[in-house]
Structure 1
């Protein structure tokens, strides 16, 4: 089958009308650099297995099967018209652990997680089906948008550098990987090096995969990371065991009080996830400004519907402790940076990169030798991902505030600070109160209605200045 070509400046071809189904080798090319990068970065989703075993009591082999199912569901996004490199609702993981720890170990925690994930699924599906997600992106005050990003970025970095953060479990290793990763992705020096040297251009297209590998090997050499013990075989999904021991088919439906307990946390999880939607919306607009040969269309509504479906399927068949979110900021940065830094002759379409990343990751998780090879480095991959998320959230928030007033900038900083320290619900609540009392001019319409001449004079003055 031949690759369908797109007109310059148009959308990548697809089928099934509004579903926008894209099939590999027909509607997009498989990008080998992204496949390899995804295979190496399988350490990121696999890192959640530590929490699944310790908090939920799920055996490691079953936890890996849960991760494999989770990765396969990521592919729904890029195959049905959503350009997002999907992920978890990562910044809320400490909140989910605290919530689940309030229940006895065993089946009660699994039922609490099922209730939480079903509630999150309803929120995403409701806002998606009834177009609430698009309206939120358009109508939310800029101070709240940027404040959510500031809070998400600060939370990600604070979590890694906290007293019990991942950085201090292997400081030299993780900081080495972080310095190399930031240099490859964001440095002012990296651009000229990519343009001048073919070898550097070849290495740079793999994003943080190479920095991870360097840090991982270096960590083993200096003794901060254990040497891997390779095992052989293939990862399978034991559906019978999953249905009997970890799903509503074996455990039963959660009690209604579990759902009531889950509502505040589910709303907070959506608020956190909304920050990822804002990040992606900004990144795709930036990419459209750089790559004029392809039009990327990001619909928060489509994204929310798919995220709701993923959360529903997980809640029913394999409850997932990190929940299913709209985007993986670190992975999104990898794909979109490679896309923007290469012409069409090198990377034909964004869709090839976004989809190939998860094809590579999913194939790697199926291979037990790959899983066991990278198992000691799981904390490195997670730390690099969250630090990149913090960087992206920070600079996008500042960019949003570039043309705003000092009042809006101040509100954004307060919203971000409260969100980082007290959580998403507090951050949004404080932001809404500040917007209501500080930003919203409740008398503007009434004044203009009674003083139309003043309004005309202001318009003339603006015209004169122009």
Structure 2
């Protein structure tokens, strides 16, 4: 039970004023379904270890320690007033791998990643401290916003179904999990089933955890997934080895040229991450419309500052190949769907669910038996979360275009398509050019002024005629 209670329609209690510190059992309840779901879905962050070992040459045990540190930093968001279920800048991972692969294997790639992550940190902190993130969300044209979402959604789906996508590594397993996961989260049938049957309501509150487990077991039965080899012990963070072999304290600062090389990719990473910020902004507005008992406040500025801090900490101590991003869209969908589909008596506060998900995931990563149990299913968890991200980006983009003109819809489709095929920088560049030449009416003010003047002259002429 939480000690602090909120008034109906208000914000969940917090401490430290504007920092909005929230402590478990004091400012929010621990949500058991989300803890269990997080523990099972530890396969998602653990899946990045494959790239850390192959691209950066980091041993698996050290890579797991990096993941544990990353999970601990996720908790900074919900403990300091940012409601997002934090994550990576996932859609840009192929770009980061290509960038790092252009350097020789070994320390050079680690230094290149440090330079990239420090640059990304500077971009997020700069836009956060100087309120650029809030301004972007408010003032960016709807055609560009929705175009970024369309592109992010298409990229996520293309990555999974491409010729070398995860789907084809275990097609029956992943597609079965995806169908069950989408049914639990988004099906028109799932709502009535939740209302009518207590068992289905109990199962549905675990989101994609149950579909993942079903698919995982099925994969082992049909031979698409290897049988796990269980090991025992606890995951530790060997800071001495990490600092001496993988950080600036042992390797030194990257050369200036590495930072110069990283600037275009850092800007592209922010553009990709901006799509997640747009998704979060829309999801929290939808949640507020459904759950009238609690007010959720999402500040892009606060989110950007915390993301900048996370990237900075990683860059200094343990560079992370997926970078730190604003949100994990798949995990966000799990928490917010359970929150919206349950009354306060079942899920008291959104904050309990969002934070409990990562408490469960972090505890699971600490336990080596859990890590080794789910190790063969890492591709399943990553594929499910990216497919859900693609779905969410798609429907939110279409919803955003509902009240827009055909011109804006057309620009959004072009922006999204270019972004998916050529990358974020190209997508945004094409979008700005189209907005500049097609959507922006440069003579609107002059037309209004001229029209107003003509109206006044016509009115004066009418008065003169009547007087005469």
Pairwise mapping of residues 338-417 of structure 1 onto structure 2 (< 5 A)?
338-417=338-417
- Matching residue of 2:463: none
| Runs of 4 or more above 2 Å deviation | 453-456
The structure with more radius of gyration: 2
SS in 1 for 2:324: coil
SS at structure 1 position matched to 2:55: helix
Partner of 2:431: 431
Residues 178-225 of structure 1 deviation map (CA, whole Å, 9 limit, x = unaligned): 000000000000000000000000000000000000000000000000
- Structure 1 residues 133-159: Cα deviation after superposition (integer angstroms, max 9, x where no partner): 000000000000000000000000000
Q: Which residue of 1 aligns with 2:116?
A: 116
Matches within 5 A, 1:129-278: 129-278=129-278
What CA distance in whole angstroms lies between the structure 1 residues aligned with 2:24 and 2:182? 31
- 1:320 matches 2:345: no
Counterpart in 2 of 1:331?
331
Partner of 1:13: 13
Instruction: Give the Cα separation in 2 of the matches to 1:453 and 1:280.
Output: 45
- Gaps of at least 5 residues in structure 1 are 457-466
With normalisation by structure 2, the TM-score equals: 0.97
CA distance in 2, matches of 1:450, 1:337: 51
Q: Tell me the CA shift for residue 449 of structure 1.
A: 1.4
Q: Once the two structures are superposed, what CA deviation does each residue of 1:335-357 show, in whole Å capped at 9, x if it has no partner? A: 00000000000000000000000
Show structure 2 runs of 5+ residues with no match: 457-468
Q: Structure 1 stretch 441-450 or stretch 286-295: which is displaced more?
A: 441-450
In structure 2, how many angstroms separate the alpha carbons of the residues matched to 1:105 and 1:251?
14
Q: Alpha carbons of 1:2 and 1:395: their partners in 2 closer, same or farther (altered >3 Å)?
A: closer
Task: Check the 8 A contact 2:2/2:28 in 1, yes or no.
Answer: no
**Which residue of structure 2 aligns with residue 464 of structure 1?**
none
Q: Give 1:447 shift.
A: 1.3
After superposition, the CA RMSD in angstroms is 1.1
Q: Which moved more, 1:42-51 or 1:440-449?
A: 440-449
Instruction: Tell me the equivalent position of 1:463.
Output: none
- Counterpart of 2:68? 68
Cα distance in 1, alignment partners of residues 322 and 75 from structure 2: 18
Which digits, 9 at most, give the CA deviation of each residue in 1:375-423, with x for residues without a partner?
0000000000000000000000000000000000000000000000000
Q: Which digits, 9 at most, give the CA deviation of each residue in 1:324-343, with x for residues without a partner?
A: 00000000000000000000
Q: What is the count of residue pairs matched by the alignment?
A: 457
CA distance in 1, matches of 2:73, 2:266: 20
In structure 2, distance between residues paired with 1:317 and 1:152: 30
Shift of 1:3: 1.7
- 1:448–1:455 CA contact under 8 A, matched in 2: no
Are the equivalent residues in 2 in contact too, given 1:121–1:308 (CA < 8 A)? yes
Q: How far off its partner does 1:21 sit? A: 0.1
8 Å CA contact 2:82, 2:303 repeated in 1: yes
